[in-house]
Structure 1
Amino acid sequence: MPTTAEILHFDNPSPDDPDPWVVRPEPQRIELVDHDPSWTAQAEELCTRIADALGMRALRIEHVGSTSVPGLPAKPVIDLDVTVADPADEAHWLPPLEDAGLVLTVREPWWHGHRCLRGTAPRVNVHVFGPDSPELVKHIVFRNWLRQDAGDRELYAAAKRVAAGSGSGDGDGMMLMEDYNARKQAVIREIYGRAFRAAGFLD
């Protein structure tokens, strides 16, 4: 279990970090759509597929990200957090996920052991972490807060639209996903402050 200090800390990329890309991304148009109630069922099916593939190697599987929050616009891509005992031991958990149709695209051992795999039909990002990763806790705190707080849900929705370009007049522009994410960071940190307080991490 990560410490409270680790949960409250936000990592910034280091210029010394190596290239994380196993499959390098291409610029794309960021497509935001209204919340689709079928995302919940899609996530459940994906969780079952991953659980069947990994068996006891999957310590926990969580639907996180914007598709897990009713009422929040999102890219139509399911995000799942999968906890394994040791992300660095890829021989133990990666082949079953590849057999299940997922492709390793990101390897970031310096960032809590993070790996990301992607799949299609439905589109999914599977984030693999070890059990001591603070990101697992952060994602659940953020998800649960947005599910219950309409004001911050709308604040985040507006930030997403602006980041994607739909609020700035350049909605047809192409961008890398990391640039889209960077445009939202200030609002995300603001919301996290209230979410952490509600969860009891801050006075």
Structure 2
Amino acid sequence: MSTVEIVGGAEPLEVALHEPDPRWPERFGRHRDRIRAVLPHVGVEHIGSTSVPGLAAKPVVDVLVTVDDITAEEDYLGQLLAAGYVLRVREPGHRLVRTPARDVHVHVYERDAPAVGEYLLLRDHLRADAADRRLYEDTKRALMTRRWTDTNDYADAKTEVITAIKDRARAALR
């Protein structure tokens, strides 16, 4: 597969940042249990801003699911769809399903995909480093003052800051 399929096309960013909500980990837990009920042998992690205590975020819980073979959709995709998720993105190395309410995004990768380590590196560093957590939140707040006709453009606009934070996280691990 060499193309990106976005089911439904580009969507404008329509949600604002919310103050940290103690219900986000609970929502993750419900979805972790829902996913494990249909896919008991996959890895499931809470990622993204809602996984970092004290960090303002869009109220969308991001879930990372790791599978043995991303191309073997018959091993996971039908089960996720039957559990109530809908397909949003199909691209090389990554699938995204989400709730119809769009309040939970489930990112599916192979266990050893580089993106998996990158998500966990960023999450764990932001949980531990107050200065980088504040920088990331300030960046998101500044970006949210703009109108975004494509949510992906908002995500791309954070890349430079995220890269710098992950570079510091890697340096701290040495």
Class of the TM-score when normalised by the shorter of the 2 chains:
over 0.9
The one-character-per-residue Cα deviations of 1:116-140 (angstroms, maximum 9, x if unpaired) are 0011468111000011201111111
Structure 2 contact 63–104 (Cα < 8 Å) conserved: yes
Unaligned runs of 5+ in 1: 1-16
Secondary structure of the equivalent of 2:26? helix
How far residue 20 of structure 1 moved from its aligned partner, in angstroms, is: 2.6
Secondary structure of the equivalent of 1:55? coil
Secondary structure of the equivalent of 2:87? strand
Moved over 3 A (4+): none
Secondary structure of the equivalent of 1:191? helix
What does residue 148 of structure 1 align with? 128
Written as runs of structure 1 = structure 2, the 5 A alignment for 1:76-91 is 76-91=59-74
TM-score, scaled to structure 2: 0.93
Bigger Rg, structure 1 or 2: 1
Work out the percentage of aligned pairs sharing the same amino acid.
41
* Alignment match of 2:33 (pick from 40, 48, 59): 48
* Alignment match of 1:158 (pick from 125, 129, 138): 138
Which amino acid in 1 is paired with 2:164? E
What does residue 12 of structure 2 align with? 27
What does residue 191 of structure 1 align with? 165
What does residue 85 of structure 2 align with? 102
Over 3 Å counting, the alpha-carbon distance change for 1:176 and 1:121 in structure 2 is closer
The one-character-per-residue Cα deviations of 1:53-90 (angstroms, maximum 9, x if unpaired) are 1123x1x1000000000111111000011001111111
Distance 1:184 1:117 in 2: 22
Q: Does residue 93 of structure 1 match 2:73?
A: no
How far residue 29 of structure 1 moved from its aligned partner, in angstroms, is: 2.5
The one-character-per-residue Cα deviations of 1:156-202 (angstroms, maximum 9, x if unpaired) are 0000011111xxxx4xx3421111112211111111111111223xx
* Number of residue equivalences: 173
Q: CA RMSD in A?
A: 1.5
